[in-house]
Chains A and B, each alone.
Chain A
């Protein structure tokens, strides 16, 4: 439907086109779009107002272009969804019609209106107000040029789990230089701890370790283990990153990885809790996290090494190393500064700490394990060599697996961790295979959405694993003297409370954001969703982008996910980075501040306000000057300038005053 003004055109004012999108029924279901378009058509300066089913579709965009050509429109307003979704689409359509894209203004009547209100009359009135504001605003719009800046070829990948590894290799294979920064002494992440992966049961090490080796060997990858990003400066295409490299006390470029120093340590046996095996074994103060670690170089833990603690060690490790002189106990942390064009965050997750749910008895009863600990137990290279054994060495005859520990729980995490059902099934299968124990799964719902997942569930069920639908409410000793524990749950299918005695309890712990996700988020200037996982730009259309251009997400730092999804996302993040690099330049919003020199009184109020030191004071002229390259367009100086000499492109004072007047003007 179209409503064209019958008034003669060409009075010199702006010629505005207003387009009200139905978005199917998303908007039209709550807002009377025809009435809004009719109302808009009567506003001052509006030549054409239309409503259309899907403005973002090709015909919708074509409508804009055609109207520009036929009616000489020079201002375009689309009232539809959030500008974060389709502002670019409609700017392009405006430009396609031959009008500067910055004469376009978007009005958010979906996220901010139709989706959050139920009263049709109120929602329609709000849409009218917002469109009226835009109509008053666009009068003041100016033609602007998009700023283009070159993009550095190098990429920073933070985190060396499977996500970071896959991203780094994809980029490196495409000929881009990658800095892979990992905080631990080895890359590999959580996946390196797993035994077999669901649903195919191929061994995690067999698919992961070759990729780890390729990372180390790749000429395009600089791997920095034991390193952390401390500072990120700059903007898309031109990030300046500071990396702190913690000392390993063994020189990476000298050591050949013979591991004789570990053998030669004065400790003849491991005495220190081995974090890689989650405390199920011990290591020496000089150690390698696991046999296939990359880089294949030992590390000295200064917290436990006698030499660091007392200075009185015989230093047999150095003796053994001999002429190679790879051990340097005086090594200090170093700071590296690099320039990269894009950044991929693959910082992973942490598992839920079940001590937060005391009635599961983790930490109280020795035979209550987390699923990650059991991953190490069933792993052939784990502390028991793949034997599923209790802490006293005996094999369990019955095992209870508790699902949803720290997931789908009002008291801890509301989210579903997505992987626990499948890994619980996998562990059930592996335990039966290795011990013939009876395995009881206590679940709320079995969730197996994935290729071949449901088939795997059926297979495990047919193998004789027991399934009890009920949340475990208590774990307590059976009191029979042989250390059995009783799992108590209401079986909601049988409608009765069941108490199952087992030798071993496995807690299917969920996935949480890393403990320092908050710090990482601040360092990289990105946003978090609820629960601390990093927020993607759009859940469907930009799942690996962040709101900060040039920074992408891969893997479980964005939300719980399994290995196939992690790898898919890592590939997506790498290709997003590649697309930026290969374009050679990025386009920046021209929302910088500028000074009208004649109006500047030289008061210097603005100078210290700028966090980017973009404002300098010209002593000779006694005027302030803004460096457009450094300005990021926050507008703080604009708001502060007492003489009104500073203004901001896209957010001019007049434009905002126009909006204020517009939303408040009565119909």
Chain B
């Protein structure tokens, strides 16, 4: 396949909670709300399930961006899992930025089951920003980095 004539298409790993954002993505489907095909959704029960290591692993394995989607504050199906996600996100984001991973590459978004339009916007907006950034290019010795974040 001739690679050169293709525009850079960022790969996004998206962790969506089962109750809000995953359903918003389903609703986008039933309402045929077209959006960029770059996100690969991994379903978790709650955004609070997203272990920071999942995010690290995604970047280590070649994701250009990671998107976490959860219920709006106060709306968590499990009361407060999204707050836990928010805390981890804030901390992890700082760490990733220290590593040279740009801010735009890691996002946490609150998207309710009714907000298919918002889901579309989030995905499209992220794709646009990642296209402007180009592929992830971390300036650290990747082998050591990969070894350190390697788990399981």
Chain A interface (Cβ within 8 Å of chain B)?
82-84, 108, 110-113, 115-119, 122-123, 125-126, 129-130, 133, 522, 525, 527-530, 535, 539, 547-548, 591, 609, 611, 632-636, 638-640, 644, 648, 651, 653-654, 656-657, 659-661, 663-666
Residues of chain B with a CB closer than 8 A to A83's CB: 43
In Å, the complex CA distance between A113 and B62 comes to 21
Q: Given A636-B81, A664-B61, does the pair A651, B51 have CB atoms closer than 8 Å?
A: no
User: In the complex the two chains form, is B13's CB within 8 Å of A664's CB?
Assistant: yes
Residues of chain A with a CB closer than 8 A to B52's CB: 639
User: In the complex the two chains form, is B49's CB within 8 Å of A527's CB?
Assistant: no
Of the residues B26, B37, B84, contact of A636 by C-beta under 8 Å: B84
Beyond A116-B35, A527-B23, 11 extra complex contacts between A and B, CB < 8 Å: A118-B34, A129-B40, A130-B41, A528-B113, A634-B46, A635-B44, A639-B48, A639-B50, A653-B53, A653-B152, A660-B57
Q: Is B45 located at the chain interface by the 8 A CB criterion?
A: yes
Of the residues A116, A633, A653, A663, contact of B34 by C-beta under 8 Å: A116
Q: Is B58 located at the chain interface by the 8 A CB criterion?
A: yes
User: In the complex the two chains form, is A657's CB within 8 Å of B75's CB?
Assistant: no
In Å, the complex CA distance between A115 and B46 comes to 25
Q: Given A126-B37, A527-B23, does the pair A634, B29 have CB atoms closer than 8 Å?
A: no
CB closest chain-A residue, reference B88 = A639
CB closest chain-B residue, reference A638 = B49
Instruction: Please report the total number of B residues contacting A with Cβ < 8 Å.
Output: 49
Q: Is B133 located at the chain interface by the 8 A CB criterion?
A: no
User: In the complex the two chains form, is B29's CB within 8 Å of A112's CB?
Assistant: yes
User: In the complex the two chains form, is A657's CB within 8 Å of B45's CB?
Assistant: no
Residues of chain B with a CB closer than 8 A to A117's CB: 34-35, 37
Residues of chain A with a CB closer than 8 A to B34's CB: 116-118
Q: Is B104 located at the chain interface by the 8 A CB criterion?
A: no
User: In the complex the two chains form, is A111's CB within 8 Å of B74's CB?
Assistant: no
Residues of chain A with a CB closer than 8 A to B35's CB: 116-117
Q: Could you tell me the distance in whole angstroms from the C-beta of A599 to the nearest C-beta in chain B?
A: 13
Q: Is B110 located at the chain interface by the 8 A CB criterion?
A: no
Q: Is B106 located at the chain interface by the 8 A CB criterion?
A: no
CB closest chain-B residue, reference A665 = B61
The 8 closest A-B pairs by CB, nearest first: A111-B29, A635-B49, A636-B48, A634-B78, A663-B40, A115-B29, A634-B46, A611-B79
Q: Is the interface of B mostly helix, strand, loop or mixed?
A: loop
Interface string of B103-123 (1 = CB under 8 A from A): 000000000111000000000
Q: Given A116-B34, A529-B114, does the pair A653, B151 have CB atoms closer than 8 Å?
A: yes
9 A–B contact pairs at CB < 8 A?
A: A111-B26, A117-B35, A126-B40, A130-B41, A522-B74, A527-B112, A539-B30, A636-B46, A660-B13
Q: Given A635-B49, A651-B49, A664-B63, does the pair A659, B42 have CB atoms closer than 8 Å?
A: yes
User: In the complex the two chains form, is A639's CB within 8 Å of B84's CB?
Assistant: yes
Residues of chain B with a CB closer than 8 A to A84's CB: 23, 26
Residues of chain B with a CB closer than 8 A to A665's CB: 61
Residues of chain B with a CB closer than 8 A to A635's CB: 44-46, 48-49, 81
User: In the complex the two chains form, is B75's CB within 8 Å of A133's CB?
Assistant: no
CB closest chain-A residue, reference B33 = A116
Q: Could you tell me the distance in whole angstroms from the C-beta of B95 to the nearest C-beta in chain A?
A: 15
Q: Given A636-B46, A639-B51, does the pair A522, B26 have CB atoms closer than 8 Å?
A: no
User: In the complex the two chains form, is B48's CB within 8 Å of A634's CB?
Assistant: yes
Q: Is B102 located at the chain interface by the 8 A CB criterion?
A: no
Q: Is B126 located at the chain interface by the 8 A CB criterion?
A: no
User: In the complex the two chains form, is B80's CB within 8 Å of A638's CB?
Assistant: no
Residues of chain A with a CB closer than 8 A to B58's CB: 660, 664
User: In the complex the two chains form, is B44's CB within 8 Å of A122's CB?
Assistant: no
User: In the complex the two chains form, is B40's CB within 8 Å of A651's CB?
Assistant: no
Residues of chain A with a CB closer than 8 A to B32's CB: 115-116
Residues of chain B with a CB closer than 8 A to A664's CB: 11, 13, 40, 58, 61-63
User: In the complex the two chains form, is B51's CB within 8 Å of A653's CB?
Assistant: yes
Q: Given A112-B25, A527-B23, does the pair A611, B80 have CB atoms closer than 8 Å?
A: yes
Q: Could you tell me the distance in whole angstroms from the C-beta of B63 to the nearest C-beta in chain A?
A: 6
Of the residues A116, A122, A530, contact of B28 by C-beta under 8 Å: A116
Residues of chain B with a CB closer than 8 A to A660's CB: 13, 42, 54, 57-58, 61, 63
Residues of chain B with a CB closer than 8 A to A653's CB: 51, 53, 151-152
Q: Could you tell me the distance in whole angstroms from the C-beta of A335 to the nearest C-beta in chain B?
A: 21
User: In the complex the two chains form, is A528's CB within 8 Å of B54's CB?
Assistant: no
Q: Given A522-B74, A636-B84, does the pair A656, B114 have CB atoms closer than 8 Å?
A: no
